[in-house]
Structure 1
Amino acid sequence: MEIVKLRHPYQPAEIPAGDCVLVLGFFDGVHRGHQEVINTGKKIAQEKNLKLAVMTFNQHPAVVFQKVQSTPIKYLSTLKQKEEQMAKLGVDLLYEVAFTSGFAALDPQTFVDQYIVGLHGKVAVSGFDYNFGKDQSADAKYLPKYAKDRFEVVTVAKKTEKNEKEKISSSRIRRLLSEGRLEEANHLLGYIYEVSGTVIHGEARGRTLGYPTANIQVPEDMNLPKEGVYVNQIKVGDQWYPAMGSIGHNDTFGPNRMLTVEINILDFDQEIYGEKVKVRWYHMLRGQVAFESVDGLVKQLEIDEQATRDYFN
């Protein structure tokens, strides 16, 4: 897959030659609703013998549009993770457009002229709720008007679960994660939710309890599940290991502590400080509890460990 990073205004020479089917969207998390849109584009590209291209942004449009950042923007996927998912879906060409004030100020017609026609799109594919142009003032139903018969427009309908009205969406998945409903979130994603980070030094308290943990420094703008104890896998190097993880403040050891992500890797005894790792989140075992004693915490960890092993068995 070829990746082309664009910053407005781009130079025509930056655009690879050849016509394409261009799929439009931000695609945070590249969930099953997004996959439906991209696979629709893929099918058309195969039928027309064209390249499959996707245009996304380097950051959420809200970074530019929100006047006051009342709540921090949290992502389901980093740009790197998005690239990995796009490659798995068979995308030939990924445009990553810098969402800046200059780009956001484009009126709908200029956006279409420069970022659909200018990218050699012969078919534009988007979800039903795609917005574009200054202040995101136009939506998918207006695309044919601005296309002026220069390209075909295909709009993919809302994707829902059976007997449900609510669409599969990034915001819905974020809500499920915040409630610890991992199985439901993973089902809507179409894969196991994953975060990346670096193993850093912690207080080494877990080692004294018989449960040494890898403390994971996760990017601040990544969406973490609800505070609690989880069944996980962690990828160190090229290998995935079963693990149990904790997101919390270690309240047993005092108030007002920093939020940490700690992973106890089952049957593992290696120093991995500085390693870039990936963590998958399968199932929430329980919420966080401030135990009255360290002994009470250790007994619960033993129960959690057995539950983790049973899950994988």
Structure 2
Amino acid sequence: MEVIYLHHPYAVNQIKKEPVVLAMGFFDGVHAGHRMVIKRAAEEAKKRGIKLAVLTYDHHPSIVFKTYNKPLTYLTRLPKKLALLAELGVDLTYVVNFTSEFAQLTPQIFVDQYMFGLHAEAVVAGFDHTYGPKNADMKHLPQYAQSRFDVIEVQQVNVDGKESASTTARKMVDEGRLDTLTHLLMRPYETTGLIVHGEARGRELGYPTANIETTPGERLPGVGVYVVEMKIDQTWYPGMASIGYNVTFGENRPKTVEINLFNFSRAIYGENVQIKWHHYLRGEVKFNNVQELIDQLAEDEKEAQAFLLNL
């Protein structure tokens, strides 16, 4: 898949001089609803015998319009999003730098430059897609298109009775509802990170853990214990993860992400890893003593192993 990065105003020679079917959206998570947009666009591109292109953004548009008290996190940072789009058969992706100047474009100018200007024969987007602050929705798009390209609107997609939306998916991540999230994303939720040194307390308990420095911008599941797989180099290893504050060992401790890999003893400091989050086991508990914690970890491992056998 070819990727072209655009900053407004873009240079005309950056744009491919060939017709495309253009799918539009931010596509955070590339969930079932997004996949339906891509699928419909792919069908249209195949029918017309032209390439499938995507228009998306380098960061969430809300950054331009509001203040955040903490860094914004994503279900899929741009590199992962691009990889997923490539897997879905997209030929070309335009990544637009969403800036204040870009945000001030009128709907008509946006359509002229970022739909017609990208040589779209058809534009495909979800029913709730917008491209400006006022009257910039799918209802008004045929008016702006002026018969220069076709407009294809994809209706709401429901998964397990809930709308397939990024806001829904983010809430599921925060609440640790990973089984349902897997259905919505149509894949296990993933994060990445770097293996760093921790307090080595897990080793003392008989459950050595890899301490993960999570990649900035990625959204972590809520506090709790989870069934996971972790990819080191090209191999996936089963394990269980703890996100929390190690409350058994004191108050006001920093939040950590620790993963115990089953039957694993290699030194892996400095490795860049991927984590698949499969299933929530339990919340964080403050145990009365270390033995209670060890006993619970044994139960956690047993339950995690049983879950992984059925994947």
Equivalent residue letter for 1:175: K
Instruction: Give the SS at the match of 1:3.
Output: strand
Please give the alpha-carbon distance, in whole angstroms, between the structure 1 residues aligned to 2:57 and 2:193: 22
Partner of 2:147 in structure 1? 149
- The answer as to whether partners of 2:213 and 2:257 remain within 8 angstroms in 1 is yes
Deviation per residue, 1:59-100 (Å, 9 max, x gap): 00110111x325643210111110111011000001111111
Deviation per residue, 1:197-241 (Å, 9 max, x gap): 111111111111111111111134321112100000000000001
Please give the alpha-carbon distance, in whole angstroms, between the structure 2 residues aligned to 1:308 and 1:52: 41
TM-score (norm 2): 0.96
Partner of 2:238 in structure 1? 242
Q: Does 1:115 align with 2:114?
A: yes
Partner of 2:123 in structure 1? 124
Please give the alpha-carbon distance, in whole angstroms, between the structure 2 residues aligned to 1:171 and 1:136: 21
Deviation per residue, 1:249-305 (Å, 9 max, x gap): 111111111111111111111111111100001111110001111111111111111
Equivalent residue letter for 1:119: L
Please give the alpha-carbon distance, in whole angstroms, between the structure 2 residues aligned to 1:141 and 1:119: 21
User: Percent identity, aligned pairs only?
Assistant: 47
- The answer as to whether partners of 2:231 and 2:273 remain within 8 angstroms in 1 is yes
Indicate the RMSD between aligned Cα atoms, in angstroms.
1.2
Q: Does 1:76 align with 2:75?
A: yes
Aligned pair partner of 1:256 in 244, 252, 256: 252
**Runs of 4+ more than 4 Å apart:** none
Instruction: Give the SS at the match of 1:225.
Output: coil
Instruction: Give the SS at the match of 2:286.
Output: coil
Kindly tell me the number of residue pairs found equivalent between the two proteins: 309
Extract unaligned runs of 5+ from structure 2: none
Partner of 1:309 in structure 2? 305
Please give the alpha-carbon distance, in whole angstroms, between the structure 2 residues aligned to 1:137 and 1:260: 45
Partner of 1:197 in structure 2? 193
Extract unaligned runs of 5+ from structure 1: none
Instruction: Name the CA shift for 1:284/1:136 in 2 (closer, same or farther; >3 Å).
Output: farther
Q: Relative to structure 2, which stretch is displaced further, 71-80 or 279-288?
A: 71-80
Instruction: Give the SS at the match of 1:5.
Output: strand
Equivalent residue letter for 2:287: F
Q: Does 1:89 align with 2:88?
A: yes
Please give the alpha-carbon distance, in whole angstroms, between the structure 1 residues aligned to 2:26 and 2:103: 14
Instruction: Give the SS at the match of 1:26.
Output: coil
